[in-house]
Amino acid sequence: MRTLDQARLPQPDLAEVEIGTVLQALADPVRLQIVRLLSRQGTAACGELDVPVKRSTVSHHLRTLRETGLLETHLKGNTRVSKVRREELDRRFPGLLASILDAAPAVPAAPPEEEPGGADGER
Amino acid sequence: MRTLDQARLPQPDLAEVEIGTVLQALADPVRLQIVRLLSRQGTAACGELDVPVKRSTVSHHLRTLRETGLLETHLKGNTRVSKVRREELDRRFPGLLASILDAAPAVPAAPPEEEPGGADGER
DNA sequence: CGACATCTACGATACACATCGAACATGCAT
DNA sequence: ATGCATGTTCGATGTGTATCGTAGATGTCG
């Protein structure tokens, strides 16, 4: 019958979203990871996301990301399928997602760096 | 005894800085404001920054921003002159600062419905 | 020299929020 | 229907951190 409840959960208009709000949402490591995963996988259900927190916490983060405007979520049967609102975000904040998702990882070490040739005065 | 005190306070190599760390630093409204002000003014001392927190808090945020790699600070006499490490940041995270600083402010609110042109007689 | 400035360091406080477990709702199968 | 899965919501808890006031370090100036 109505296996087609493709209902979409409420989400904000991106025009009303401040850049600070987006930054705050992406500042959490788990949420950033979720956005990264979704950007690569396209879509995923809550339970499919490989993040090191419990299910209820993932749900909380997905809610935060959706209410912030970063994700859209569709109801599909018993599961919620989420994906990044990439095109809308690119229109609202040009270059933002690209610069974040394409950022190269940091070099592992801050090696014990000692500079010969003098005291680097600080104080 | 002139400007020999052009010493630069210690700052990280941007190669070692994760994008998540930068996002976390910029997630705070006051810090984002500071970066915005410095981007426009070029440089500023701690006391010149027009932000709604006390001096000691500004100092704390400047330290955070510097240790995160966003700012560099030079000692000039008794004052610390800070500025955004714009070029280095653009090299490490291309497009990031631009997309954040150029982001358009959000539209004030989403009136539930009510098409424009109505009688907004309030206020 | 002493008085005053800028700025940081330190301890204390308060609040936000990330996290969890348990309870509940819903859908799909058997 | 019962059972099992997926997700959400709720309350509680712990931690991180933004904020402040005060004290101290340092530099400038009269």
- What are the DSSP E strand ranges found in B2-110? 44-45, 71-76, 79-84
Nucleotide nearest to B57 (CA to C1'): D19
Q: Is the pLDDT of residue B26 over 90?
A: yes
List, in order of start, the domains of chain B with CATH numbers: 14-101 (1.10.10.10)
Nucleotide nearest to B66 (CA to C1'): C8
Percentage of chain A beyond pLDDT 70 is 83
Q: What is the pLDDT of residue B110?
A: 55
Among B67, B99, B101, B102, pick the best mutation site for testing chain A contact (most A Cβ within 10 A): B99
Partner B contacted by A34 (CB < 8 A): no
> Quick one: residue B117, left, alpha or beta (phi over 0 = left, psi -120 to 50 = alpha)?
left
Q: What is the pLDDT of residue B113?
A: 57
Q: What is the pLDDT of residue B109?
A: 75
Report pTM: 0.87
Residue type, B15: A
Q: Is the pLDDT of residue B121 over 60?
A: no
Q: Is the pLDDT of residue B122 over 50?
A: no
Confidence band (pLDDT; 50, 70, 90) for A7? confident
User: Min CA distance, A119 vs chain B (Å)?
Assistant: 12
Percentage of chain A beyond pLDDT 90 is 79
Of A96, A22, A93, A21, residue with least CA distance to B103: A93
Shortest CA distance from B103: residue in chain A: A93
Q: Is the pLDDT of residue A3 over 50?
A: no
